Structures are given as C-alpha cells and as structure tokens.
Structure 1
Amino acid sequence: MKKRLAAEWEPIKGVMIAWPAFLPHAYIVDLTQNYHVYLCVPDQREEDNARKHLAQWGANIHNITFCHSPQGFDTPWVRDWGMHPVFDEFGNFHLAGAEYQMSTPFVAYENPEVMFDWQNQPLSPTSYEQEEDKAQPMIAEQIGQPFEKLPYALTGGNIMSDGFNKMMSMQVILTENRAKGISDEQFYAGVARDTGMGDYSVFSNFGDYGLQHIDCYLKIIDEETLLVSRPPKNHKLYQRYEDLLDKEIRKSRTRYGRPFKIFRMDIVPFNEENDDLTAYVNSVILNKSVYVPMYGISQDKIALQQWQEALTGYEIKGFEFEFAKEPAIIENRTGYTRTGWGTEDVAHCRTRAIWDENMLYIAVRRLEKEEPANQVLDIPVNIVDYSKAGLIEESLKLYYRNVGAMEWNCHPLEATNDRELFLGSLTGKPGDTIEYYVAAESKSGRKETMPRVAPKGTYKVHMK
C-alpha cells in the first residue's frame, strides 16, 4: 500500500459543516437527507438553536452528529481549517490537522509575499491564535477517527489531490509557510512524509487581491481531468487565467504520465458594484452528486450544463443563497450584500467531507481517446480494500459495450503479482466506439464502480 491523501471524489461517509450556519438552509437540509452531517457547534446553546431551525426546515435530525468545539472567525470555512484524510502505508486511516494559527491570508498579485487579514491589515505569524487550530483534535475525537497534528500550513481550500501522489496549490501556500520560517524544501518534504504525496505542483496566483486559493480557479475532478475557470475575454483577468493554464497547468502530468484532460467553466461578473466573478468551480463533489453555487443570473444554467458535461452521470445540484430568504443565517460576515456566495468563497469552502475509512478504492488507467483496432488493449486497475475484509473475487469485472448497444458484456479482471493491481482488456473493430467501466465488491458489503456513477457515466474509446 501507499500512503496517500484521499481525493474529493472518493467514497465518503459524511459531511462536516459549521453552525451558526453560513450556507443556504436548502443546502443544509439536502445534506442531512443524503449524508450523515457532522455539525460543528460552539456550545449546547447553539446546538439547541440549530436543532430548532433544522426541525423547522425539514432536516433529518437523525442524520446529524453535533460536534462541540471552540469557534473563531474562520469556523464557517471548514474547508480551510478542517482535517485532511490520510491513508498510511498499512491501510490505516487518520485525520491530519494542519497548523492554522495565522488564519487564511490575503495577498496581492503584484506583491505575493506580503500578507493581510480579512480586514486588509498586515498579517504575521504572531498576529493572533485561531480557535480552529484547537478545534481539530476535538472534532476528530467526536467523529471517532485518529488525529495527527501537522507542523505547517496546508490550507484546505488551496489543496487539490489526485488521491495517489499528485498535489496542486497556488503560490500563497508557500507564502504562508515562508512566513513561519519553513522553507519551500522543508514544506515539500514535510508534505511527502506526512501525506505520501510527493508530486507537488505550485502555480502562480491568479487574482489581483484575495485568498488566491486553487479551488476558486480549478478543480481536479478525477485522476486525469481538470475543470478550469475561464473569464469573459473582455474581463481584466482573462489573459492571466489563460496564461496560467497554458504556461503552467498544461505542463502538469497525471499519475500515468499523461497531460490532464481539461474542461472549461465559463465564469462571469455577478455583482453590479464590481467585476467579481462567479466561483462555479468552487463546488463540492460528494459521492455521486455535485453541489454548485447559483447567483440568480442567466449564467447559472450554463454552469450546471458545463458541470454535467465534465461529470456525466453525476447529479448536479444548484443552490442560490439570498440573504433575504435566510432568517437564521450569518449575514454580511465578509461584507456580502445580496447573496452569501462570493467570488473566492462559496460551497466548497464551507463544506468538508468525512471520508469512509473502510472504503473500497478503485483507480483505472483508462485507454487513450483513440486506440488501434483488432488489438488486445490492457487496462490496469488499482483496487484497495481498506476494510481489510477481503475482495469478492468474482465481483471484479470490466463491463463494456459498443455505444448505443443495450446489453453489457463483462470479463473478470485478472490478478497480477501486485495484489492491488488487476488487468482488464478490450478489443474492438475499426470504427467501434466502446464504453466501459470497472466494478468491485468487498466482504465488508461495499460495492464500487469506476467511474463512480457507472453505468450512467463511463469511459469511452474509439477504435481506429
């Protein structure tokens, strides 16, 4: 087994959010109806207040565990201070809490080493101590998962993982750690040691001023696919976004040594008072659904369509956040007016998954878009049963069919000398377009496919 930081699309058992809430109530209710929700509250009084409102909204109270812990200003942004999901080399799971005493700094594009707090005041490592730093081990204990403290900043909104060895962040992650006296080399070495992720790509910041978190610019949506934001051509940031993509991100390689497949997400200004851009990529993938912020503008519909094109078969859910319709929600915490969704702070920032420590993990080295016909094409498949209950051998299968056909064919996956590596194979005639997916089951009762939404979503290959 390999030590690794789980990816966002992997199996989860629940979702962590904070109360007092900074999410639309319909979003919170949906979470309670579809997942177990770990709701972080500061005390019994707020737990009682949450119970009252959740009952009024129609939430499933039985799907909620209330986690008591100290709260600071940043508590609603559970993505940033929340704990990272790490599987070690023995297949054991724990939550890793990064150092969070300095909050999440704002930086300017022209002067990226000077940090500011949310009130635009100069920020230093000794500015103040965050309550969220103290909350991490307390919440981990109440969730029932082991905890390890990390000695450096690893701000969650600025971290993307491919679930194997690849990490992506924007430059501000280095700025935060340099301010604490941690060199870039020490940071990379620490991350590799503590999370197993040794291929770390850090890209240039993209905004004029702000958090500069990667989850507001792009998202890794599977091991070989990125969803990257694209402003209108007449927007001041258009060329910067495109240069960042073409000159830096396209040079990055997947775990299989190939360029990432890239989908684009068109973003537009949503506020008449300025040219702040919609943060549609700052959505959150939870098992087989995607939760997307909606701004009450015509571009919302296009964003949902682009998400569906990027993640075929997933349920794409859009949520508006109008303060006028949210009587029990934190208002204007960051100066927002009409909507609670910002340009660098929306659904992903305020939601954090709790991963299944006994998950059935599958990763597929898919075929190229086009492959030669009349040849046996091998498809390597990594499968890890973290429950340690054992795989059900007869369940390990490759399903395939010509696009348009009604019935699926299947072949068993072949074992290899590596107990976590299996092989599937396909052969097609010239002109065939074949769709396929992999399935597995463990004796713990878990059943998984890859893609996770198969057969609604599949891999495809055209034979030439």
Structure 2
Amino acid sequence: MTKTAMRFPAEWEPQSAILIAWPTEDTDWAERLGEVEDTYIALVAAITRFQPVLICVPDEDVQSYAYVRLASNRVDMDRVRFVEAAYDDTWLRDSGPITLVGGDAGGDAFVLNDFRFTGWGGKFEASRDDLLVGHLHATGLFEGRAQRRQIDFALEGGAIETDGAGTLLTTWRCLHERHPETSREVLSARLADWLAQDRVLWLDHGYLEGDDTDAHIDTLARFAPDDAIVFQACDDTNDPHHAELQAMADEIAALRTSKGTPYRLFPLPWAQPILDQGRRLAASYANYLILNGAVLMPAYGDPADEAAAAVLAQAYPGREIVQVPCRPLIWQNGSLHCITMQLPQGLLAG
C-alpha cells in the first residue's frame, strides 16, 4: 500500500454512515443512563436527517429496546441499522476503524486501519473495544474490497485530524504519552506511512480540564475545507486554560499549508465552566461531527452555544449547523465527536 494508492479522506468528504455504540448499564454511562440515552436519541435523530447511522448493540434485547426508544421519538428508522458487537464502552472515535480509501472518496478500495486501543494508555479496561474493528469486519458489514490492517501501535481516532490532502494534525502530549520512548521524527514517519500522509503537524500546547485522553486533537483544533483550521479559544484571562490555549492559538497561527501560506483561522468561543460535584468538565466546541450536508455541534446550554454555531457556519458554508445537547456526555470526559466515527462513502456492504 503506497501513499499514492490510498488516501485518508477528510471528514467533510462524502460518507456512507456514522458508526456509534448504544449506551447500556454495562458501560460507564450506567449511573446516568437515562440522560445519556436522551442525548443518543437526539444524535441519531440529527444524523438520520442527512444519512444512515450504524448502531452497535451487545445483544438482541438491547437492539429491541434501542429500536423502540428511537422509533417512539420519530427517528427515521429506515436510516438506522444495527449490528451486534461486544464493547466495553461507546467511544467509537477511538476504538472504531480509521479508514483509507483508494483514489477519490468512494473509490475502488478501502483499508480499515485497526490500531491498538489501550483505554487511553491503560486508564480503563478496553479488551473488547480493542477487538471491535476485527469483529465488525468479520460480520461482512463492509464492502468486499475493504481490507482490515492490524497495526500493533496504540493510536486513537480522536488523536489525529486530516485535511484529506496529505496533512495530519496531532498533539505531542498525547502521542508522547502513548509512546514515551519514540522520537517525534519516528512518530511522524510512522503516522505518515500508515495514514498515507505527506506531512505531520504537531501542537505542543493545548489541554482541557476534565479530558482524560491526554489532549486529543479533536477537542482542540480541526481542519476545515479550503485550508482552514477551527480551534477552541479561551478569551477569559482569569480562566486557568487561558495561557495554554493562547499558546496553542499562536502555534496554529504559525502553521503553514502545503503551499506555504497561513491557514484561515476560526476561533471558537469559550463556554463558562461546567462543574459536576466540584469537578470541571471538558466543554469543547471543537468536538463537532461533520455529516453529508451538515455539522452537528455539541451544545452545553451556555450562551456561547449560538456564537459557536455562527463560527461553524462560517467555516463550513453550505452546511446546516445542528446543535445536539451534550452536557450528559462531558460527565464522562468526552463529547459528540468522541462517540462517533464516520464511514466513507461506499464502505458499507448492501
């Protein structure tokens, strides 16, 4: 597999479906399952307005329950498909397949990169999550031309961001935490090879309290079409995030496109602190999900929600901006993008 043969598509390119896993009492959502189910219902309802959704469930009973919950909330069930699979939790951005396509999106080949998922460096049990891609591939869910490629290297989908044209963006904090003995140069070469990239851009700054991923890029900065970067800013000088996120903003401003020009920059507004039993939660607007014709944005019930929607409308012109209530998700240290994984156009069989 050469770089010219395969390509890592940008999230805004055509998709066949969004992959998620239904929350159950056996996941870490158990304590607040009702609230989280409501968020999942709102998410599925939003996705199915634009494209299909593929929902992992552990067994037939959960599938029947999820079907009733969704259907009773007027979700378009013609665009919902279920697949049985064992999983520890529902963060499919990090345990799902990272897919390369042959040629243009929807081309004649697919590679499902199956990296090791270690529960964010061994913080949580993840043995079933680590087997998820292999299980999904074995079910015949994907197009016959889709090959699974196991890679014995810990990497989460939320840790990487691509522009679809050969540039990868990531954070040193996360990758160094996973692979402390490996140099930046070696990491860059490996990522470029596995993910069909020409270059890797690193951010040394940026973090969010309440984030246990060691600074995943999808909570901090995202590529947008036409050489743009959307990023989480903090304009509150009294907030403990201010200095670090300002340093990150300066780093992003210094980055250059493959043509040597500055990126167009779209800073996102800062939500007021959200606390849960005294613990600050990671309410990032950068954790949005791009669909065919839309951007789903995490909403936190904060006045900044509307301002964030306006920024995303500028960064993604022509796409509808849909707010999804995500306060229940950040209780477990992630948000909207973290629980989803897009599947490129043409990948699903049938």
TM-score normalised by L of structure 1: 0.63
Partner amino acid, structure 1, of 2:141 = Q
Contact 1:178–1:184 (CA under 8 A) maintained in structure 2: no
For 1:87 and 1:224, locate their aligned partners in 2 and report how far apart those are by CA, in whole Å. Answer: 21
User: 1:79: how far off?
Assistant: 0.6
Q: Among 291, 294, 300, which residue is 1:289 paired with?
A: 294
Preserved CA contact (<8 Å) 2:205 2:245 = no
Whether 1:149 aligns to 2:150 is yes
1:275 positional shift: 5.2
Q: Is the 8 A contact 2:58 2:84 kept in 1?
A: yes
Match of 2:160 in 1: 159
Q: Is the 8 A contact 2:205 2:247 kept in 1?
A: no
Distance 1:99 1:182, change over 3 A: farther
RMSD across aligned C-alpha pairs, in angstroms?
A: 2.5
1:98 aligns with 2:115: yes
Q: CA deviation at 1:34?
A: 2.6
Query: Structure 1 residue 129: deviation in Å?
Result: 5.1
- Please say if 1:117 is aligned against 2:123: yes
CA distance in 1, matches of 2:95, 2:259: 31
Alpha-carbon distance, 1:266 to partner: 0.9
Superposed displacement of residue 227, structure 1: 0.8
Shift in CA distance, 201/343, structure 1 to aligned 2, threshold 3 Å: farther
Which residue of the other structure, out of 27, 37, 42, is the alignment partner of 2:53?
37
1:131 to 1:343, Cα distance in 2 relative to 1, 3 A:
closer
Tell me the distance in 2 between the aligned counterparts of 1:229 and 1:243: 12
Contact 2:271 2:303 in 1 (8 A): no
Among residues 6, 19, 28, which one is paired with 2:44 in the alignment? 28
Q: Secondary structure at the match of 1:143?
A: coil
* Match in the other structure for 1:240: 244
CA gap of 1:281–1:343, structure 2 versus 1, over 3 A, is farther
- Larger relative contact order (CA 8 Å, sep ≥ 6): 2
- Compute the displacement of 1:56 (Å): 1.6
Change in CA separation of 1:39 and 1:164 when aligned onto 2, cut-off 3 Å: same
Paired residue type of 2:74: G
Structure 1: how far apart are the matches of 2:8 and 2:116?
A: 17
Which residue identity does 2:123 align to in structure 1? D
Residues 69 and 139, structure 1, Cα contact 8 Å, conserved in 2: yes
SS of 2:314's equivalent in the other structure is: helix
Alpha-carbon distance in structure 2 between the residues aligned to 1:64 and 1:208: 33
Q: Which residue of 2 aligns with 1:364?
A: none
Higher strand share: 1
Give the 3 Å change call, closer, same or farther, for CA 9–143 of structure 1 in structure 2.
Answer: same
Residue 194 (structure 2) aligns with: 194
1:347 aligns with 2:348: no
1:415-444 deviation per Cα after TM superposition (whole angstroms, max 9, x unaligned): xxxxxxxxxxxxxxxxxxxxxxxxxxxxxx
Q: How many Å separate the matches in 1 of 2:57 and 2:173?
A: 29
Q: Secondary structure at the match of 1:152?
A: strand
- 1:261-302 per-residue CA deviation (whole Å, 9 max, x = no partner) reads 101101122425455453111111112101011111222121
Counterpart AA for 2:292: N
Q: Which protein is bigger by CA-based radius of gyration?
A: 1
Give the equivalent residue in structure 2 for 1:378: none
Offset at 1:130?
2.0
Please state how far the C-alpha of 1:321 moved relative to its aligned partner.
4.2
The whole-number CA distance in structure 2 between the counterparts of 1:228 and 1:208 is: 13
Is the contact made by 1:254 and 1:260 (CA closer than 8 Å) also made in structure 2?
yes
Deviation (angstroms), 1:223:
4.5
- Match for residue 15 of structure 1? 18
Residues 241, 159 of structure 1: CA spacing in aligned structure 2 closer, same or farther, 3 A cutoff? same
**Secondary structure of the corresponding residue to residue 274 of structure 2:** coil
Equivalent positions of 1:207-226 (< 5 A) are 207=207, 210=211, 211=213, 212-226=215-229
Q: Which amino acid aligns with 2:94?
A: D
State the secondary structure of the residue aligned to 2:48: helix
Residue 72 of structure 2: SS of its match in structure 1?
Answer: helix
TM-superposition CA deviations, 1:287-326 (whole Å, max 9, x none): 210101111122212111222222222100012246xxxx
Cα pair 1:279 1:342 within 8 Å, conserved: no
Q: CA deviation at 1:258?
A: 1.5
Does residue 85 (structure 1) correspond to residue 99 (structure 2)? The answer is: yes
Unaligned runs of 5+ in 2: 25-35
Across the two proteins, how many residue pairs are aligned to each other?
A: 318
Measured after TM superposition, the shift of residue 250 of structure 1 is 2.5
Tell me the SS of whatever aligns to 1:59: coil
Inter-CA distance 343–256: structure 2 relative to 1 (3 Å threshold): farther
Q: Could you say which structure has the higher helix fraction? A: 2
With over 3 angstroms needed to count, the CA separation of the structure-2 counterparts of 1:171 and 1:256, relative to structure 1, is same
Is the alpha carbon distance of 1:68 and 1:184 closer, same or farther for their aligned partners in structure 2, counting shifts above 3 Å?
farther
Change (3 A) 1:173 1:240: closer
| Partner secondary structure for residue 193 of structure 1 | helix
